[in-house]
Structure 1
Amino acid sequence: MMSLVIGIGSLMIGIAYAGLGTLSAWETINLHRYRGWSRFGIGFSLMAASCGPHHLVHGWGVLQGESISYPMFAATLIGLPAGLIFVLLRFETVLGRQGDRWVAASPHKVMLLAVTFTLVAGVLAAWTFAQPGAEFPFQFLCTSSVPADGTTGTGIGGSVAFLANMFVVITYGMVGCYLADRQVRSYLTSGGWSLSGAALTGVFFTCAQMHFIDATTPGNGLMLFFDLIGIPASIYFLWVVKQVHSDSVMDWNRRPLVGAAAAPARPSPWSGERA
């Protein structure tokens, strides 16, 4: 039962990331003639191109019998609500509807939720390292054995997978911090919380938690491939988010994938098209 929940949950998360990344890439390419290239759209698409397949491969592997753990089960359940909320709001935007909600929650309740999530994340992290089969970095210095089934549980492959996942844990965690800070600023000016923004913040924090657990779990070569792609993608996306957060760049997609992005009624003078 636990394998089924983790497998299907990971597949749902992977499909959501892949779909959102594809939609973001389509909007960025389709609207660049009118609004210019969206750095955020490009960065999100690159991030989703690695993170989406990672979760798809992981979910399929779990359904095929790969190793699981209770921390992985808990992280999957925690990560699903934020992802589902953001995807549903994004579909609302595609259909031309509202695409966001303003939530009137007191700062004390939000702080309580943040502290609770932090404590849960800490417990899951400690629980992950306490697992009997947890993998640690640089194990290839102590052993040269490589599993015959092609997994990256031990040897150089396992250590590279650990480091790759831990790297995106840091970058995605930093992205979540920037998004959370933006939500706090928005509350101070408007008195409300953006549901889509809060959901996206939760997506990156929970995604970082999942990658932390995956770092200590034997994977396979295909997951390692997407993990390695995720390193430069996460670096670029973090740079873009930091630039947008500090208002160093003006991006028409500065509200991350929220709000209807449609072509203007008349083409721009430099588009080469006639009205």
Structure 2
Amino acid sequence: MIAVLIGIGNLMIGIAYAGLGLLSAWETISLHHYRGWSRFGIGFALMAASCGPHHLMHGWQLLQGEAVSWPIIAVTIIGLPPGLIFVGLRFETAWNGQGDRGIPASPQRAILLSAAFAMVAGGLAAWSLARLPAAELPFQILCSSSEIPGIAGSGFSFVSPSFLANLFVTGTYGMVGWYLADRQVRRYLTDGSWSLAGIAMSGVFMTCALMHLVAAAACETGWALTFDLIGVPASIYFLWIVRQLHRDAVTDWNRRPLIGAATAPARASPWSGANARPGSPVRD
């Protein structure tokens, strides 16, 4: 019964990723004549193209009877609330609702929530490694100078493409979540409130990184491995553009990602090239 619920949860997450990715791609393509190309929209669509199918496949496998571990159950339950909030805000905006809103929470609560998540993340990571056969080996790596490529007889290897890809994506999406959370801290210092959409999106990427960290302990093959490998370059580009936006190094009309209503403005933006005269240079 638990496996079925977690499978349904992964299907919901996968559908949300795929839907938001398609919506982001459609808005980026349809509005680029008015607003220019949204680098964030492109990056989000690429990220969703790997994460969405990965969750859909994992959910389908669980519904087909595949065993589910307790760390996967825990990380799925943790990841559902921010994902549902973010998707709900997006649909609310699509239906001409309020969408994003401010949260007048105290910084002490934010610190407490962050500390609790950090402890849970560390516990789940250790739990995932401890469940492997010969569980003492992963911890011996920290204190051993000899190479330990894997665990004999378990099908697990520390140099397998699945482990390395998931570990890499854990770092990139964790940094994305960090930049988004830092932006929220700056917003609070300026306005005295938190963005519900921003907090939810920060939580989405933090829990996404945690889920990939737990998945790194599994030996994925086939299409799951394919989407893991696709996610590596997608996460690199997405991290790059989020960092650029965080530093205010690029201009992007999609700065409030996927929450604000995207409609055609009264006139084209200067950098879109729509108003450029023939032969005149177009600034990027």
Structure-2-length-normalised TM-score:
0.87
Tell me what 2:278 maps to. none
Q: Give the counterpart letter for 2:99 in structure 1.
A: G
Mapped contact 1:163–1:215 kept (Cα < 8 A): yes
Identity of aligned residues (%): 63
Query: How far apart are residue 265 of structure 1 and its match?
Result: 3.4
Which residue matches 1:115? Answer: 115
Q: Output the CA distance in 2 between the equivalents of 1:88 and 1:30.
A: 23
- Equivalent position of 1:168 in the other structure: 169
2:183 is aligned to 182
- Unaligned runs of 5+ residues in structure 2 are 142-146, 276-284
Could you say if the C-alpha distance between residues 20 and 94 of structure 1 is closer, same or farther in structure 2, counting changes exceeding 3 Å? Answer: same
For structure 1, which segment, 32-41 or 4-13, has the greater mean C-alpha deviation from structure 2 after superposition? Answer: 4-13
- What CA deviation, in whole Å up to 9, does each residue of 1:63-122 have, x standing for no partner? 222232111100000000000000000111212221111100000011111111111111
Partner of 1:98: 98
Alignment partner of 1:271 out of 270, 274, 278? 274
Whether contact under 8 Å (2:156, 2:217) holds in the other structure is no
* Correspondence 1:120-269 to 2 at 5 A: 120-133=120-133, 154=155, 159-266=160-267
Q: Distance in 1 between matches of 2:104 and 2:269?
A: 39
CA contact (8 A) 2:163 2:219 kept: no
| Equivalent position of 1:150 in the other structure | none
Cα distance 1:141–1:166, how it changes in 2: closer, same or farther (>3 A)? closer
2:16 aligns to what? Answer: 16
Deviates more, 1:58-67 or 1:179-188: 58-67
Indicate how the Cα distance of structure 1 residues 68 and 218 shifts in structure 2: closer, same or farther if over 3 A, else same. farther
1:42 paired residue number: 42
Report the Cα distance in structure 1 between the residues aligned to 2:224 and 2:5, rounded to whole angstroms: 19
Q: Distance in 1 between matches of 2:36 and 2:69?
A: 45
CA contact (8 A) 2:38 2:253 kept: yes
Residues 183-212 of structure 1 deviation map (CA, whole Å, 9 limit, x = unaligned) = 000001110000000000000000111111
Q: What is the count of residue pairs matched by the alignment?
A: 264
Structure-2 separation of matches of 1:268 and 1:27:
15
CA shift, 1:224, in A, is: 0.2
Q: Tell me how far apart the structure 2 counterparts of residues 186 and 21 of structure 1 sit (CA, whole Å).
A: 26
* Deviant stretches of 4+, over 3 Å: 132-143, 155-158, 265-272
Q: Which moved more, 1:240-249 or 1:4-13?
A: 4-13
The equivalent residue for 1:148 is none
- 2:16, 2:28 → 1: CA distance? 18
Equivalent AA in structure 1 for residue 259 of structure 2: V
- The amino acid of 1:264's aligned partner reads P
Amino acid at match of 1:3: A
Q: Partners of 1:164 and 1:67 in 2: how far apart?
A: 22
Q: Is the 8 A contact 2:156 2:219 kept in 1?
A: no
For 2:239 and 2:161, the matched residues in 1 are separated by 21
Shift of 1:139: 7.8
Distance 1:252 1:141, change over 3 A: same
The DSSP-based 3-state class of the residue aligned with 1:226 is: helix
In 2, distance between residues paired with 1:266 and 1:203? 34
Q: Structure 2: how far apart are the matches of 1:217 and 1:156?
A: 9
Q: Output the aligned Cα RMSD.
A: 2.3
**Structure 1 equivalent of residue 281 of structure 2:** none
Change over 3 Å in CA distance of 1:160–1:126 after alignment to 2 = same
Match of 2:62 in 1: 62
CA–CA distance in 2 between the matches of 1:62 and 1:139?
31
Deviations 1:4-28 (Å, cap 9, x if unpaired)?
A: 1211111110100000000000000
Structure 1 stretch displaced more, 248-257 or 64-73: 64-73
Corresponding letter in the other structure for 1:263: A
Cα distance, 1:268–1:124 mapped onto 2, change above 3 Å: closer
Separation of aligned partners in 2, 1:21 and 1:204: 14
Residue 160 of structure 2 aligns to a residue in which SS? Answer: helix
Q: Is the 8 Å Cα contact of residues 139 and 155 (structure 1) preserved in structure 2? A: no
